[in-house]
Structure 1
């Protein structure tokens, strides 16, 4: 459900090595809907809002059956990409995994394997059904739980390994007005290769999806790499949507005033009442995007498949960006 301030998680973003391969992997493995893409995220506007000088990307969106949520895939042309290190563990600080529910686990795993996934551990039976863990071709951990009651694959949530659970929890609850609940350990750490791990964890109700916050006590997590950016390969950031541009900007200002988020830019990137975008980093070092996208603009920003007019506008924007910024 939306927060007491009207906000909800609307996007989970990836930085990928190969846009076409990543989109095909997630679209075909989880039977997701294609919601278009753009090459217009470049130039001074992109650098201003994302906080990285010279940033440029090709972008594509996928959705499950909900119009309120998207997966965003970005192949950054600049700065140079930094891959996920082979030594990375799920306890290390950062966005650790994405979770899906699927109606047929065996069929989903077969599709994933054919597209380059790697199995992690063995299939387990948990309260919600059978569960498997795989990595995508870029090395992102994916938790997949079977739910035979549903005929549709859905994004379930995203997990973060944090330095301070209390500090991260305050950002999402006190800062954003989202609600938190307990999270019982159901053997997932062992399935992820961390048998015997000790952690405190809480799941935030983000509306369409949950956000799991974990503070590992053992094994000790590795910190962010020096110079970490949202362009590093893997899960990049989450975005939170508010009902209006004014509410999105007010909520972001609230996060700034409370010391929970440091903005990348002094003012939002605003297109009238249609779009408002803000990026920042929270006290834990995670990138957070705050947005409002009016329904009329959903087709050009991946919240529904583009219609004819959307495709024309996207082509115009892409051509203009290419002409101005290469």
Structure 2
């Protein structure tokens, strides 16, 4: 690999997730996961949004929720175009992505997210570092990894 003389990436700003309902997503991310709602706004249709996202007819409303520790999740609900689909990849499918969160109690967070309709994709595993780890998948295909780090 060639050395890069100037680092053009400064920092992470947010992670975006497209959802079918902002209200339902906010309920999960704030009510179940303990994030805080930072902003919500209707961006509407128009050429700016169409050109940013590369979708003709893009009409969207967004909400930003903030995780403990400060990472922002941008939730996007597209009102248009009308031919939207729910993408539900498996973890091995190219294009699949996941978010990882460090948790204090893996069993408790699993109980919370399962009660909200998310499902385990396996069983918790203890990895060589001593951390307990599992993936869960939401009703719309989003994947989260929970990691309870080993205590010293």
TM-score w.r.t. length of structure 2: 0.83
Corresponding residue of 1:33: 36
Corresponding residue of 1:21: 24
The answer (yes or no) to whether the contact 1:102–1:148 under 8 Å persists in 2 is no
The answer (yes or no) to whether the contact 2:130–2:150 under 8 Å persists in 1 is no
**7, 22, 45: which one aligns with 2:10:** 7
The equivalences for 1:225-304 within 5 A come to none
- Tell me the matched-pair count: 144
RMSD: 2.1
The answer (yes or no) to whether the contact 1:32–1:64 under 8 Å persists in 2 is yes
Instruction: Encode CA deviations 1:114-152: one digit per residue, 9 max, x unaligned.
Output: 111111111111225211221112122211011477xxx
Which runs of no fewer than 5 residues in structure 1 stay unpaired? 150-326
Structure 2: how far apart are the matches of 1:145 and 1:78? Answer: 36
Gap change, CA 1:15 and 1:148, over 3 Å in 2: same
Structure 2: how far apart are the matches of 1:4 and 1:13? Answer: 23
Which runs of no fewer than 5 residues in structure 2 stay unpaired? 1-5
Q: Which one has the largest radius of gyration?
A: 1
Q: Does residue 145 of the first structure (1) align with residue 114 of the second (2)?
A: no
The answer (yes or no) to whether the contact 2:90–2:96 under 8 Å persists in 1 is no
The answer (yes or no) to whether the contact 2:46–2:59 under 8 Å persists in 1 is yes
Q: Does residue 84 of the first structure (1) align with residue 70 of the second (2)?
A: no
The structure with more helix, counted as a fraction of residues: 1
**127, 136, 146: which one aligns with 1:134:** 136
Shift of 1:110: 1.1
Q: Does residue 109 of the first structure (1) align with residue 128 of the second (2)?
A: no
Shift of 1:27: 2.1
The answer (yes or no) to whether the contact 1:99–1:143 under 8 Å persists in 2 is yes
Greater length-normalized contact order (CA 8 Å, ≥ 6 residues apart): 1
The equivalences for 1:82-231 within 5 A come to 82-85=85-88, 88-126=89-127, 127=129, 129-147=131-149
